[in-house]
Structure 1
Amino acid sequence: MSASVPPRVRIRFWGTRGTCPSPGPRTVRYGGNTPCVEVRGPDNHVIILDAGSGIRALGAHLLAAGHSTPIQLLLSHRHSDHVLGLAHFAPLFEPGNRIHVRCGEGEADALAAFTRAMLTPPLFPAVDGLSSRLDFSEWDDHDAPLSNGLVVKRFPARHPGEAAIFRFDDANGPLLAYAPDNELAYHDQSAEVRAWRAALADFLRGVPVLIHDATYRHHELPQHAGWGHSSHVEATRLALECGARTLVLFHHHPDRDDDSVEQMVEECRAQATRSGAPLRLLAAWEGLTLSV
């Protein structure tokens, strides 16, 4: 019997909620922690997407497992729900550990100052050596090699705060894309926005797993224009346009209970069925694991 082929990449969700943590009985199934996604390639190096409150549980898991390989953190942007967990990431408190924070061209100095401010009074007690365990590096041309052949590419999201969308590739092509905060605004038919959407669809073309912002229900969009988020219907439309195989609805609204999230999934599945495309639909929950 031949040995099984290892996955090209493994994905695990530790925080799936947007805006602010929302723990409680109404969010048990899909989770109340803010964005944090773990990505591992064949070499088992840890790549973390965003440092929301979900990173606390990830840090405890890494320490319990005795993880010792390098850790890389990619921040989509600096809004509080995406960074508020960093000060509670247990590996940061282990002497000798290094957390490599990757950012876009021209962002390293500003991100370093911002992050160190989060880890010092008055926002956090003074802990010797804490901020010195963070290394900041930037890449040019929206393209950077990661571990064992993985490459990350960046694309500008439509979201206040200069957020980024990440796409991971290996030698065999696209693997996954991560767009946690992104306003697709299909109602906007201006030439500029239409060109941006077309370029985004090309950027995501054929990606096996698309993790995309689905903060709003479709009828909620008019009162939140310009807020930088999409509906579940829009996320599904984009997934169909770019030929994704799996769409994972993400960045659930803090007031959205589990039953409502489930209803949104069913609506998206019906939308995909009507299109005739073989699109798999999921809503991210804490603990969900996927492989490509």
Structure 2
Amino acid sequence: MSSHPQDPIREQAAEVVRAALADATQRPVVKSFFDEATFTVSHVVRDPGSKVCAIIDSVLDYEPASGRTSNASADALIDYVKSEDLQVQWLLETHAHADHLSAAPYLQEKLGGRLAIGHEILTVQAVFGKIFNEGTEFRRDGSQFDQLFNDGDRFRIGGLQAMALHVPGHTPACLAYVIGDAVFPGDTMFMPDYGTARCDFPGGDARTLYRSIHRLTALPDEARVYLCHDYKAPPGRDEFAWETTIGAQRTGNIHIRDGVSEDAFVAMRTQRDATLPMPRLILPSVQVNMNGGRPPEPEANGVRYLKVPLNAL
């Protein structure tokens, strides 16, 4: 395994993984749901010893041409949870997504659970609060969420041990969740044949992402990894995929496998990011997601409006 600097929190996360590898009762049951419209994967993560679960990175359907929302993707999660008679303890967000709207408030209304995200959402709220010229009524203290996780915070899903790891770079607030022997890294990295996340959003940084990913690839090779997105890697892969392992990422990720230096990664990522268009839903997504998945309050006519800042991004 590659050499990594001393990182006590990462080592604690590795112990969570090792404990689960030695004890099947600490290995979560994961059911994944793929939304092809946004290429997003949502995960229902269940304690095998109980009916308790968490939902990670849910999707609210949004049609930008009409400005209409719908709940088909979220309803699929609800149907599964109810069919399995599960109890939702957590609604977990890996970050304030720029490519889809979160369905967390809708799910919370229907299923309960505490809504959580990383503490650095405050940074995102400060930056994008200015971009969207939000007034003083927009709270920049993260209070739209029930729980703000710091790096290394521990929690439980039923009897499962879980930890939050701060993995910035794609955004300042990115978290990976280590739940038993399963890792949910958000947008830090994709399938090994597709690579890693972009770093050109406000607050993103390729050098920081390199170091964050190495926090994850220092975890035990056997850890299962459940990704937030897949786009099919060209050429040759015709099926969407979102499950891999830490070992496969460490040895085979085309952008950041063993032997790729930090400077080489930064040069590649910076050059690649300069060619990428902005995500199709970035303006509605960030505007809603930094507010806990809630759209702006209705105006005097009862209609909610999203802003489009011109020439700002």
TM range (shorter): 0.3 to 0.5
Scaled by the length of structure 2, what TM-score is found? 0.45
